[in-house]
């Protein structure tokens, strides 16, 4: 099953909004074949592995990271491929919560005489497909908060200069991460200070929309984002009571799409994520600044963090901290990551962790 999970991860960034799925065929204790879902609309993992196995699949066991589908979608039902191949036993990591499957695949296989086992490495399978599970549970994209900081917790100098905190290899990893996202989001403060492009260089398997939280529509028409809006989508989240009509007209003429939210206050994070979910986003990368990251954290909408800590001491007494917002009154109330992985990248420490979420718990059903 661990091999199947590793195989499934090869589809990251290419299969969304579908889940990542891997499959392994085993016969008499020996590996016969493996496969993964390679891209959205492509063959499912079970079909890839069964085709590679050929006649050796008859009487064999199939290990698969997610319940085989039992409905006609962009491809035929995987349950029928499993039965046609003569598989005698299916071991699955977890039930698929997609309403058109949701246990139906297991029932179809069991009714046809196939032995079915469920739950092997379920926690790992849920972690792998956390974005898919969140979208099905609450209809919102999975939010990864990303920042780079010095060893003393600064994201910029007092002047605002931040180029560069992390090293070239760390920045290359960020571009790889961007290339797997459906959206990259910053606040207007970051957009004004850095004039970023918010693109993946080189391009990855996905082309993320660039999203700016800008209640008053202050994004300059001369900014890199506005000038390239017809090449890569730019979505501007504004407050309808604060954004001047002439500013909106100037930006929309350049190709910027405006997402208006009622009132004249900050952009409501939950409503924003609902809208992004309706637009089909599975993965959202929030890159800052500190107030924006704090707003997502205060709203309970940060699902994972990707942090690069550089061996730099900047010093100073200023507000350039990675996450602001309301914060916790006591250290005991601070959020602790449920799963942490780290590696050293040319002296930087790259740390990734998940926050506890109900859909990560084995057996969770929305």
- Is cis: bond before 293, omega within 30 of 0? no
157 is in an annotated binding site: no
For residue 131, count other CB atoms closer than 10 A to its CB: 25
Residue among 46, 67, 121, 122 flagged as catalytic: 46
54 is in an annotated binding site: no
178 is in an annotated binding site: yes
- Is cis: bond before 113, omega within 30 of 0? no
292 is in an annotated binding site: yes
**Parallel, antiparallel, or unpaired: how do β-strands 304-309 and 283-288 relate?**
unpaired
Q: Which H or E run includes 137?
A: helix 130-138
105 is in an annotated binding site: no
Helix axes 78-85, 104-111, angle to 10 degrees: 20
Enter the tokens of residue 220.
Answer: 């300059």
Strands (E) across the chain are located at 22-27, 30-36, 61-64, 89-92, 115-118, 142-149, 183-187, 209-213, 234-239, 257-261, 283-288, 304-309, 339-345, 348-354
78 is in an annotated binding site: yes
72 is in an annotated binding site: no
137 is in an annotated binding site: no
* Angle of CA points 142, 17, 70, to nearest 5°: 125
138 is in an annotated binding site: no
194 is in an annotated binding site: yes
* Active site annotation includes 46: yes
CB–CB of 158/318 below 8 Å? yes
162 is in an annotated binding site: yes
213 is in an annotated binding site: no
CB–CB of 223/197 below 8 Å? no
* Angle of CA points 46, 47, 52, to nearest 5°: 100
277 is in an annotated binding site: no
148 is in an annotated binding site: yes
214 is in an annotated binding site: no
Which residues are annotated as part of the binding site? Answer: 44, 69, 78, 148, 162, 164, 178, 190, 194, 198, 201, 287, 289-295
Annotated binding site for NADP(+): 148, 164, 190, 194, 289-295
Report the catalytic residues.
Answer: 46
Annotated binding site for substrate: 162, 178, 198, 201, 287
């Amino acid at each position: 099953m661990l091999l199947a999970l590793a195989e499934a991860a090869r589809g990251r960034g290419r299969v969304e909004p579908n889940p990542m799925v891997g499959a392994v065929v085993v016969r008499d204790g020996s590996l016969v074949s493996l496969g993964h879902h390679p891209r959205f609309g492509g063959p499912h993992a079970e079909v890839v592995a069964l085709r590679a196995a050929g006649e050796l699949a008859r009487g064999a066991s199939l290990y698969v990271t997610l319940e085989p589908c039992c409905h006609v979608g962009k491809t035929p039902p995987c349950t029928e491929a499993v039965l046609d191949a003569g598989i005698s036993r299916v071991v699955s990591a977890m039930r698929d919560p997609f309403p058109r499957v949701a246990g139906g695949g297991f029932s179809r296989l069991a009714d046809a005489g196939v032995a079915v086992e469920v739950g092997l490495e379920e926690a790992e399978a849920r972690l792998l497909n956390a974005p898919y599970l969140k979208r099905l549970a609450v209809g919102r994209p999975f939010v990864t908060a990303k920042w780079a900081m010095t060893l003393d917790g600064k994201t910029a100098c007092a002047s605002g200069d931040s180029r560069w905190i992390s090293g070239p290899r760390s920045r290359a990893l960020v571009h790889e991460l961007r290339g797997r996202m459906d959206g990259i989001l910053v606040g207007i403060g970051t957009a004004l200070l850095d004039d970023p492009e918010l693109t993946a260089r080189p391009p990855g398997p996905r082309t993320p929309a660039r999203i700016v939280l800008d209640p008053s529509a202050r994004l300059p028409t001369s900014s890199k984002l506005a000038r390239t809006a017809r090449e890569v989508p730019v979505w501007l989240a504004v407050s309808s009571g604060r954004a001047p009509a002439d500013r909106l007209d100037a930006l929309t003429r350049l190709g910027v799409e405006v997402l208006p939210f009622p009132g004249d206050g900050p952009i409501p994070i939950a409503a924003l994520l609902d809208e992004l979910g309706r637009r089909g986003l599975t993965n959202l990368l929030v890159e800052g600044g500190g107030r924006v990251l704090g707003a997502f954290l205060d709203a309970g909408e940060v699902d994972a963090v990707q942090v690069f800590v550089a061996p730099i001491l900047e010093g100073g007494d200023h507000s350039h901290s990675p996450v602001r917002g309301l914060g916790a009154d006591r250290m005991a109330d601070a959020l602790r990551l449920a799963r942490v992985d780290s590696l050293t990248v040319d002296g930087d420490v790259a740390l990734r962790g998940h926050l506890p979420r109900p859909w990560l718990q084995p057996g969770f059903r929305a």
